[in-house]
Structure 1
Amino acid sequence: MTFKMTNTNRTITIYNLSSATNEFIGKGDGYIPANTGLPAYSTDIAPPTTKDGFVAVFNFDSGKWSLVEDHREKVVYDIHTGESTTINQLGKLPDDVVSIAPAGYFVKWDGETWVNDPEAEKTAQTTQVIQQKESLLTLAASKIAPLQDAVDLDIATEAEAAFLLAWKKYRILLNRINPYDAPDIKWPPMPDTE
């Protein structure tokens, strides 16, 4: 039944709606003065019975209720990145999320479950070796430069000349490291500078 104004005061059952989503939030008795309409965000049409995981949402244009999936506050995981997010809107879950948390860092979604992703693990290991190698090469260069200056100016002590050779040998051994051999990397020992 659709609401009709009358020229008499009356009390009717109204169904209150959320102003944000038009979902049913409760019912009560509403006093309707003569020649006035319903209060804002309400209807006199009873909502359908809902089932778990759904809410009743009213459409003012059609004057009808529909059942809409409700996953709000549910934590889901992006199937491309594994990143978690919390659902905050009504409706179906996006196609690219699942409710199963990834187990580990190097996994991928195979359509049914998270599986180990050796390629991603190898890429991460290789990247880590590249970064460590670059850092150690920078350190070696910073140690070599002043020692080389001392040798070039013919003012190096025997210890400085020995350290220079040790650091140069270390830098050569570092350069021979192939990051794509990760995780089987044998790092050369750093020269003793004591």
Structure 2
Amino acid sequence: MTEDKESLVTPAVEAPVGRWWEQDGVFAPTVCHVSPLTGEFMGVGVADPSPLEPGVWLMPAHTYQGDAPIIFPGCAAVRGDADGVWHQVPDYRGKTVYDKDTRVASKYQELGELPELFTLSAPSSDFDIWQGGQWVLDVAAKNAALTNRAGLKKALLAQCAGSVISTLQYAVDKGIADEAEIDLLDAWRKYTVTLSRVAAGPEVVWPASPDDPATVAFLQARGYDDITV
């Protein structure tokens, strides 16, 4: 890559010193601007005339003389200092890449081939592992997570039922429960027994509670939701 003050000398031009570059038949050489950091092609311009040297063109910093390179899709054209040839370098900058070990997504910022650690392929779940050049579902890990989640839900539902039963039982013990509350107490007790027989696992059929809206509100208030993992 050439630096400031380097010049291109064209054949002598019969023109007075001054704005010689504006004379008929005088054309500025085409130059290609490149990034000072990556060496990639950034655009086309022209050389600068030397005001006091007719026929002499000054090359701006970080430029090469010549026409613009052809740039292939998904690539950047980078000038090789050793061979003076434009090379097609893969360009993934701005694309989302995924860490093969952690599945963490990030925006890639470097010019060139992707490091082996990253892939452009997105995992389909939080339980995918990179195996054999692709994401594969770790069934055992997913089932373990679902089982743990079911155990937490079962404990919270039992806590909810116990709270309701305690309140209704107090009303019965004080002789202030009406018929509807007595029936509701019986329904919650039956629900508690049914719930206790549920085995936590990756697939659970939950019994309907006597008051589903109240049960859902109880779970949400404790940070639990039923979004599938």
TM-score by length of 1: 0.66
Q: Aligned pair 1:55/2:72, yes or no? A: no
Q: Equivalents in 1 of 2:44, 2:120: separation in Å?
A: 33
Q: Equivalents in 1 of 2:120, 2:66: separation in Å?
A: 33
Q: CA deviation at 1:169?
A: 3.6
Q: Equivalents in 2 of 1:166, 1:65: separation in Å?
A: 82
Q: Equivalents in 2 of 1:85, 1:192: separation in Å?
A: 44
Q: CA deviation at 1:50?
A: 7.5
Q: Equivalents in 2 of 1:131, 1:33: separation in Å?
A: 79
TM-score by length of 2: 0.58
Return 5+ residue gaps in structure 1 as ranges. none
1:31 maps to 48
Given the superposition, is the C-alpha separation of residues 117 and 154 from structure 1 closer, same or farther in structure 2, using an over 3 Å criterion? same
Q: State the secondary structure of the residue aligned to 2:115.
A: coil
Q: Equivalents in 1 of 2:108, 2:150: separation in Å?
A: 38
1:123 maps to 144
Alignment of 1:26-175 (within 5 A): 26-34=43-51, 38-40=59-61, 42-44=62-64, 52=72, 53-56=75-78, 67=87, 68-82=89-103, 84-103=105-124, 106-175=127-196
Count of aligned pairs between the two proteins: 186
1:190 maps to 209
Q: CA deviation at 1:124?
A: 3.6
Task: Calculate percent identity across the aligned residue pairs.
Answer: 33
Query: In structure 1, what residue type is equivalent to 2:63?
Result: T
State whether residues 23 and 58 of structure 1, in contact with CA within 8 Å, keep that contact through their aligned partners in structure 2: no
Q: CA deviation at 1:70?
A: 1.6
Query: In structure 2, what residue type is equivalent to 1:141?
Result: G
Choose 75-84 or 140-149, whichever is displaced more: 75-84
State whether residues 21 and 57 of structure 1, in contact with CA within 8 Å, keep that contact through their aligned partners in structure 2: no
Query: In structure 2, what residue type is equivalent to 1:107?
Result: D
Q: Equivalents in 1 of 2:86, 2:143: separation in Å?
A: 49
Q: CA deviation at 1:140?
A: 1.4
Q: CA deviation at 1:110?
A: 0.5
- Larger gyration radius, structure 1 or structure 2: 2
Q: CA deviation at 1:14?
A: 2.7
Choose 76-85 or 115-124, whichever is displaced more: 76-85
Q: CA deviation at 1:65?
A: 8.1
Return 5+ residue gaps in structure 2 as ranges. 8-16, 22-27, 213-229
Q: State the secondary structure of the residue aligned to 2:43.
A: strand
